[in-house]
Structure 1
Amino acid sequence: MSEIPPTDEARLIRPEVVTSLLDENNLVLPDDQINDFRVLLSALDEAAQHMLSFDDYQPTVDLEKYPRTDIHVPEDTCGGGWATKAVVTCTQPTSSLLAGRTIALKDNIALAGVRCTNGTTAVDWTPVVDATVAMRVLDAGATITGKASCENGCFGGVSDTSCTGPVENPWAAGYSTGGSSSGSGRLVAAGAVDMALGCDQGGSIRLPAANCGLVGHKPTWGLVPYTGIISLEATIDHVGPMTKNVADCALLMDVLAGADGMDDRVPMMVKPGTFDFVKEVNETLAKGKPLAGLKIGILAEGFMSSRMDLGVEKLVRSAAVKFAEYGASVLSVSIPLHTESAPTWMCALPIAGMRQGLLGDLTGRKQLFMTDRISMASPKLTQVAFDANGPGGQSIYLRGRFLEQKYGLELHARAMNLMRKLAEEYDKALETYDVLVMPTAPMLTQKTATAAEKKEKGMGPLALLNRNLGVTHNTAPFDFSGHPALSLPVGLASPVDDPDVKLPVGMQIVGRQYEDLVCMQVAAVWEKENDWKSLYAGDM
């Protein structure tokens, strides 16, 4: 292909192509400059066609090294937890860290040859690549046994929005696991797999973990590669472990952490294979006063949600003060701006989330582009795609368009700057305290509703979306700030209107950036000294 712009008439685009482009964008050019832009755009068009003549450059999956069999949609979904089942292994693992362990991947994580629904029918996609985290668990000797259901577009906090069907809480039929990593929470808690990977942009690892009695860890932003995973919004994308205990969480983090050379979220100096979370946690547990010298701050504003449940508050406060028995100093800390995170988050997410999560616009990023899925995207949602996204995706789309058209990009910029201010407030508090603790969710999980029940009750978008109000009060701020945040089960409580039901409660432990280890150490000590299943808020 010549680098010289074409000048012969046969190779030039028509003048009306330039004038139409100007008209569509409310622009004008002097007539004597139209031909210049015919030449410039024609050269660009030839370059584009030349580029598209090359084969796409994607990582090649070695199916002999990573064989996959028995790919199918199961009849028995384990209470809605499974989206698709498969058996995927590595014939030449580089370590035995996860040998004998079974793992489920949230259904927004690419696994070549296995459908990836992202909880929605808006896009029909079967990946040709494996996500970095999938390859890492396989290289460590694990067996991936399938894809775990997730909420529609990963926008739901109640587990009845997925295109694969509702996901039931293993502790109580008819109750939600939370979302959006709903299937991951269900499968681990029900014993269908040893571990699972979830993704978290507002609490989607930690909330299902809290609701299902699991340990769920949202790593520091930029510690675990997001390569090969459907993005909701790059500045809040996290992938991490959902496990039965802290030891498994630390083990999985040893495998997952570190740069892969493709994801621009992860600094290249964060080297994979250089972490030893398991060893460090075990050394902490072996000490007489394992938390001696640590300062733990109970975040006052973490208990100030309008939907704060008394049982949740009792359990988390009781769990937090026990840290003093293990050598830590435990004091209250106030960060007033924490209560402003919800409206800030509400304004910061829609424009970027609409473009990246719904329209697949990842321009400006340095990462692996899954071009087969991107080719299905369009500058605007079609009516079919809009309908398929359900109230959560529809809300993000319309809110994004509304804010974009009424306020432009300044509102998004201001909201992001305020989130940075909030992150600095957390950093300031963490100069004094080693970790901050608070409820993972201020309330217990709620009941799900079938499609028929939603219709019978006349539940429109407002009623359906209002179920999520306040749920992310303590989780979403740390997606934007990027601090590591771990949810630890600390007891059981009963809904006010359903006293015979007992549901898990999670305590969130938040640490300094890249000090994920400290979160795990603090959680592991509490876990070792307490049987959380025997702690019931009704007895307090």
Structure 2
Amino acid sequence: MPTVQPGTPNRKVTEDELRSVLTGAGLELSSSLVEDYRTLVSLLDDAITSLPDDKSILPYPDLLNYPRTDIHVPEDNELGGWATKVTAKCVNPISDLLKGRTIALKDNMAFAGVRCTNGTSMVDWTPTIDATVVTRVLDAGATIIGKAACENSCHEGMSATAITGQVHNPYQKGYSAGGSSSGSGRLVATGSVDLAFGCDQAGSIRIPASSCGIVGLKPTWGLVPYTGILSLDATVDHVGPMTKSVRDCALFLEAIAGPDGWDDRQPPFGLEGDRLKFVAPVDLVLEKEPEKMLAGFKIGVLDEGFEVPGQDSNVVASVRSAVEKFKSLGADVASVSVPLHKEAHRLWNCASPLSRGRQSLLGDTDGRKQLYLTDRAELVGSKLSQAQFDALGPGASNLYVGYLWMQEKYGAKVQGKATNLLKATSDAYDKALKEFDVLVMPTLPYPPPRLPEPGSNEGPLNYLNRTTGMIANTCPFNNSGHPALSLPVGFVPAREDPTVKLPTAIQIVGRKYADVDCLKVAAAWERVFDWKTL
């Protein structure tokens, strides 16, 4: 099928204009071919310039029903937790599901009229729309009280790179709160908000949840719409709840799950009815006698999840102790091996640069049926300027250099190869989950690291070495799309100072779209055991 119909263009591009483009692409065309393509490209230009304004169909919020006031940058950001404060509540909510609850948005989410820093000064952007999930929590009766700080371009696992300042661990100042949803983790842990959004492409909900001693769920890929949120890569984008308790996590998830008609990460049918109910099934588990709470549940202890290079022995001991407690709740517990789990981290790294450099840093999300944040993309351009690159943190700048290298040296074949190999990894988890209801392992291999000195410039290599292996157990389930929940299970000594005690957590992974099983298992454990006393 032809891309354009021949005709007479309104304005014909000049031969010099076209040859400049062709020469830049390394092409030499004869004069007759150039003349033909001048006409064809001119017709394409006509079509582009005649497009109507897409702003007419954007989902702008009704500011009379969803008013927002007192928008300001706080002088006291609570040791890095807040990026911007705002007060917003729906005038006519649809339900009382989240009535009386306060919520923080991660600062990569669109909220009309409120700046969205994405943790960086690379782009100065104030959205004109609201993310779908923002509207949903307002419709459920919640009150939004601000935007939580996030790490620079959402590419860090340590909380030291946000443009709004370092985010400190709620249990020890000077230590990481995790990333990239760093402010969300801290604010929930300190009680500054009841609930907070996190976004997760390699562990950015679960890393701060583990670091801050709260519950964090990366839902099944596509269960919750990502519409109106800055993307890293649509194939690994997830948005989900960060809460103090598992029941709150279920409540939050019930308020935001389900298709929105924009996001092609979501299946076009099947996500409805009881599949979007999470609170009642959790409550049924909590009503049982402790020894019967998990009767019939089969829990697989993933061997490879305890074999991460550099894993802290105290973390392993804490999580293994937590696993043993599932037996007293009636669950059957046994070990299971998924050898490909050890390869998933490397595959994530190889699949990242080309698509994620393009999508997250340049805002180029072509090939997806979703809401395009074109106003922000226009502020970036087709490549980063020196000033924009200099505004990136170590993780984001490393991604961009890797993107340039892969684009020049390999093209699309490496990303394609890694993506093909990831299918086998996902299938291996599916196979294990036919035998077990959930898989468990440590969320993180070690406790939160100490933050670097503010303003220190140690270079990307030294900085990134602080978090080597951090995402070994988290990113595999971004690749595969399985739901994964982080539940705090105890304190362990900091590596830099054994007198400092910091939270650690177990990760519970379920079958796709069986997020409720992760919630049930976590809720039962939380109901009987107090992680702070273990």
Please give the TM-score of this superposition, normalised by the length of structure 1: 0.95
After TM superposition, give the deviation of residue 277 of structure 1 in Å. 0.6
Alignment partner, residue 468 of structure 1: 467
Residue 336 of structure 2 is aligned with which of 333, 336, 344?
333
Residues 1:308 and 2:311 are matched in the alignment: yes
Output the amino acid matched with 1:80: G
Alignment partner, residue 165 of structure 2: 165
Alignment partner, residue 181 of structure 2: 181
Structure 1 range deviating more: 262-271 or 522-531: 262-271
- SS of 2:71's equivalent? strand
Output the amino acid matched with 1:196: A
- SS of 1:451's equivalent? coil
Alignment partner, residue 277 of structure 2: 276
Alignment partner, residue 356 of structure 1: 359
For the aligned residue pairs, the C-alpha RMSD in angstroms reads: 1.5
CA contact (8 A) 2:483 2:513 kept: yes
- SS of 1:311's equivalent? helix
Distance 1:246 1:516, change over 3 A: same
- SS of 1:35's equivalent? helix
Measured in 2, the distance between the counterparts of 1:283 and 1:196 equals: 25
CA contact (8 A) 1:160 1:450 kept: no
CA contact (8 A) 1:257 1:272 kept: no
After TM superposition, give the deviation of residue 270 of structure 1 in Å. 4.5
Output the amino acid matched with 1:507: I
Alignment partner, residue 404 of structure 1: 407
- SS of 2:259's equivalent? coil
Task: Please list the CA deviations of residues 273-293 of structure 1 after superposition, one character each: whole Å capped at 9, or x if unmatched.
Answer: 752211001112223412111
Measured in 2, the distance between the counterparts of 1:271 and 1:438 equals: 28
Task: Please list the CA deviations of residues 85-141 of structure 1 after superposition, one character each: whole Å capped at 9, or x if unmatched.
Answer: 000110010000000000001000110000000000001000000000100000000
Measured in 2, the distance between the counterparts of 1:88 and 1:421 equals: 45
After TM superposition, give the deviation of residue 330 of structure 1 in Å. 0.4
Alignment partner, residue 523 of structure 1: 522
- SS of 1:36's equivalent? helix
Alignment partner, residue 490 of structure 1: 489
Structure 2 segments unaligned to the other structure (5+ residues): none
Task: Please list the CA deviations of residues 266-322 of structure 1 after superposition, one character each: whole Å capped at 9, or x if unmatched.
Answer: 112244675221100111222341211111111111011122111111110011111
Measured in 1, the distance between the counterparts of 2:95 and 2:251 equals: 12
After TM superposition, give the deviation of residue 5 of structure 1 in Å. 4.9
Structure 1 range deviating more: 35-44 or 315-324: 35-44
Residues 1:285 and 2:263 are matched in the alignment: no
- SS of 2:464's equivalent? helix
Output the amino acid matched with 1:483: H
CA contact (8 A) 1:5 1:42 kept: no
Output the amino acid matched with 2:380: A
Output the amino acid matched with 1:285: L
Q: Superposition pairs for residues 371-390 of structure 1, below 5 Å? A: 371-390=374-393
CA contact (8 A) 1:166 1:450 kept: no
Alignment partner, residue 69 of structure 1: 69
Q: Superposition pairs for residues 416-427 of structure 1, below 5 Å? A: 416-427=419-430
After TM superposition, give the deviation of residue 54 of structure 1 in Å. 6.7
Measured in 1, the distance between the counterparts of 2:131 and 2:97 equals: 19
- SS of 1:293's equivalent? coil
Alignment partner, residue 22 of structure 1: 22
Output the amino acid matched with 2:505: G
After TM superposition, give the deviation of residue 176 of structure 1 in Å. 0.5
CA contact (8 A) 2:8 2:43 kept: no
Structure 1 segments unaligned to the other structure (5+ residues): 536-540
CA contact (8 A) 1:258 1:270 kept: no
CA contact (8 A) 2:302 2:335 kept: yes
Output the amino acid matched with 2:324: V
Alignment partner, residue 324 of structure 2: 321
Structure 1 segments of 4 or more deviating over 6 A?
none
Task: Please list the CA deviations of residues 453-491 of structure 1 after superposition, one character each: whole Å capped at 9, or x if unmatched.
Answer: x24xxx111101111211111001100100000000001
Alignment partner, residue 112 of structure 1: 112
Residues 1:367 and 2:361 are matched in the alignment: no
Structure 1 range deviating more: 341-350 or 311-320: 341-350
After TM superposition, give the deviation of residue 440 of structure 1 in Å. 0.2
Output the amino acid matched with 1:347: C
- SS of 1:356's equivalent? helix
Aligned length: 528
Distance 1:461 1:91, change over 3 A: same
- SS of 1:514's equivalent? coil
Residue 437 of structure 2 is aligned with which of 434, 457, 470?
434
Alignment partner, residue 538 of structure 1: none
Measured in 2, the distance between the counterparts of 1:137 and 1:196 equals: 11
Structure 1 range deviating more: 134-143 or 329-338: 329-338
After TM superposition, give the deviation of residue 390 of structure 1 in Å. 2.0
Measured in 1, the distance between the counterparts of 2:428 and 2:130 equals: 38
Distance 1:517 1:500, change over 3 A: same
After TM superposition, give the deviation of residue 19 of structure 1 in Å. 2.2
Alignment partner, residue 508 of structure 2: 509
After TM superposition, give the deviation of residue 508 of structure 1 in Å. 0.1
After TM superposition, give the deviation of residue 344 of structure 1 in Å. 1.4
Measured in 1, the distance between the counterparts of 2:53 and 2:242 equals: 43
Alignment partner, residue 96 of structure 1: 96
- SS of 2:379's equivalent? coil
- SS of 2:326's equivalent? helix
Measured in 2, the distance between the counterparts of 1:273 and 1:378 equals: 43
Alignment partner, residue 147 of structure 1: 147
CA contact (8 A) 1:117 1:123 kept: yes
Output the amino acid matched with 1:244: K
Alignment partner, residue 36 of structure 1: 36
- SS of 2:318's equivalent? helix
- SS of 1:93's equivalent? coil
Residues 1:256 and 2:263 are matched in the alignment: no
CA contact (8 A) 1:255 1:273 kept: no
After TM superposition, give the deviation of residue 55 of structure 1 in Å. 5.0
Measured in 2, the distance between the counterparts of 1:155 and 1:252 equals: 25
Measured in 2, the distance between the counterparts of 1:7 and 1:350 equals: 42
Distance 1:475 1:53, change over 3 A: closer
Task: Please list the CA deviations of residues 209-243 of structure 1 after superposition, one character each: whole Å capped at 9, or x if unmatched.
Answer: 00111000000000000000000111000000000
Give the % identical residues: 55
After TM superposition, give the deviation of residue 47 of structure 1 in Å. 1.3
Task: Please list the CA deviations of residues 390-427 of structure 1 after superposition, one character each: whole Å capped at 9, or x if unmatched.
Answer: 21111000111112222221111111111111111101
After TM superposition, give the deviation of residue 53 of structure 1 in Å. 6.0
